[in-house]
Amino acid sequence: MLYLFNDIPESLRTKQYFPLGRHLWRIYKALGWDYLGANIGDAIGTINYDLIKIRLNEAIMTAKSTMDGNISNPEIVIADTLFPPGGAIRADLQQGVMKLYYGDSTDCTYISIRDDTQEVCLMLNAHLEDGIPVDWWFIGSDDELLERRHIKLGYKLRDIPKKSKNLTEMGLKFIDILRDIRNERTPQWSNSPYQTAAVWSTGAWNLGFEFSSYEGIAGLYDGVAAKLYGFPDHWYSYVPWPPLIQTAIYSGRKKFVLFSVGLMAENRLYFQHLEEEWQDSTKTNFPEVWDVGIVQQWEKMGIPFPIQTLECGLPNYKDNKTFKTEKFEWHYPEGPWITLDRLQMDLSKALEGYYFDINHETDPNVEDIPSLIISSGIGRNTQIVHLPQKNQME
């Protein structure tokens, strides 16, 4: 049975955004709102400190090791990022790019909002110093910090989304509370600029199923540029916007993706890794989501080549007929995708993460994809497969 858009309850504030997420939409169509609505709280609850720390601590240690000169060939090492958490960047590019985006010293709290209750369910604060990630803290849904009230408005921090018209308004109210918390916890950074990034949980969830760096950046664009597509608000948003990101958004989806992946990895494709702990948590708690979101994606669909991502046509969300007729198909150019067969590996191996000598000019019909793998793994555990031609020449 395939579930329909009209099966999503009208009371859900983010209902119309579901078809904006390629993976969210296909998971919803297979499992329906009764399943997602009943499990969304538990799904968020499984994101805890023990899972978060694996990736974020490695992000800090990789950055430190790179700066100390303890990583050989940093130009082929992909590092986790704190800005945004769960992102990836080439180790040798991280400091310059982060300073370009966020400045010399910055705090940002990433705030996830439950779609069903419109309550804050988790917060992750990250700090950059001289473009290097140096500190983070995590707050779960049961933390008493979410009971802290806005000094002027009296709202509890967890209830701010319910009291706000849009993400920008939420962000400003969050900052009023969180800046004081930051100054109490880390007074040495009390003069650093402060940002929030408010995210509806379904939006973040959608990105969590994206393994291609090109598709991940494209999905990020779709969420922050949702208003340009005709939606009433962003799906996720920085407050205030980093000037460079805000400017890049108005350049359009294709240019935004090329600009971003160019800065992050010189336009080369990266496949996101998924730690065994995250795999085990999903398989154990939500086997249906694991099957539809991960297994079927790799075994039946595959991953688009960069050129296919750039030339993809999205539904016309500005046309009401699109929603009435549920014409939510994404139109990718013809050509084969990257599959497990073409990678010559099984799913568990594919989830280790890979950096490819593949960019937006690579023909999807290219043969011998394994020969184009530059490195595997993440951060300090990266394994070199082969160096790109220009590095061999050096």
Quick: pLDDT tens for 201-211: 999 889 999 99
Distance separating alpha carbons of residues 209 and 294, to the nearest angstrom = 7
Distance separating alpha carbons of residues 243 and 286, to the nearest angstrom = 39
SS3 for 263? Answer: helix
Distance separating alpha carbons of residues 217 and 134, to the nearest angstrom = 24
Distance separating alpha carbons of residues 87 and 81, to the nearest angstrom = 5
Give the pair of three-digit tokens for residue 290. 């694991």
Give which of 84, 107, 130, 113 is closest to 180, Cα–Cα: 107
- pLDDT for 40 equals 73
Instruction: List the single range of 33-47, 91-105, 328-342 with lowest mean pLDDT.
Output: 33-47
- pLDDT for 54 equals 85
SS3 for 339? Answer: coil
H or E element, residue 179: helix 167-185
- pLDDT for 392 equals 40
Please give the average per-residue pLDDT across 107-123, as a whole number. 94
Please give the average per-residue pLDDT across 41-68, as a whole number. 82
Sheet of 383-384: strand order equals 270-271, 354-356, 373-376, 383-384
Strands (E), 26-150: 78-82, 85-90, 105-113, 120-129, 132-139
Please give the average per-residue pLDDT across 68-92, as a whole number. 92
> With bands split at pLDDT 50, 70 and 90, how would you rate the model's confidence at 46?
low
Please give the average per-residue pLDDT across 248-264, as a whole number. 95
The C-alpha angle with vertex 306 and arms to 218 and 376, in degrees rounded to 5, equals: 100
Distance separating alpha carbons of residues 209 and 30, to the nearest angstrom = 15
> With bands split at pLDDT 50, 70 and 90, how would you rate the model's confidence at 45?
low
- Please enumerate in sequence order all residues whose Cβ is within 8 A of that of 237, keeping only pairs 6 or more positions apart, or say none: 167, 168, 171, 197, 198, 224
The position carrying tokens 């090791």 is 65
The position carrying tokens 């309550």 is 119
Q: In this structure, is the dihedral angle defined by the CA atoms of residues 104, 172, 248 and 208, taken in order, positive or negative?
A: positive
Whether pLDDT at 394 is above 60 = no
Give the pair of three-digit tokens for residue 361. 């000019």
Give the pair of three-digit tokens for residue 231. 């939606």
- Please enumerate in sequence order all residues whose Cβ is within 8 A of that of 173, keeping only pairs 6 or more positions apart, or say none: 150, 153, 155, 160, 163, 164
SS3 for 184? Answer: helix
- pLDDT for 389 equals 64
Q: Distances in Å between the alpha carbon of 14 and those of 115, 261, 293?
A: 6, 28, 20
Whether pLDDT at 393 is above 80 = no
Distance separating alpha carbons of residues 202 and 14, to the nearest angstrom = 8
Backbone angles phi, psi at 288, to 5 degrees: -65, -40
H or E element, residue 23: helix 22-45
Mean residue pLDDT of the chain comes to: 93
DSSP state at residue 108: E
Q: Distances in Å between the alpha carbon of 94 and those of 49, 377, 380?
A: 24, 17, 14
How many residues comprise the chain?
A: 394
- Please enumerate in sequence order all residues whose Cβ is within 8 A of that of 321, keeping only pairs 6 or more positions apart, or say none: 327
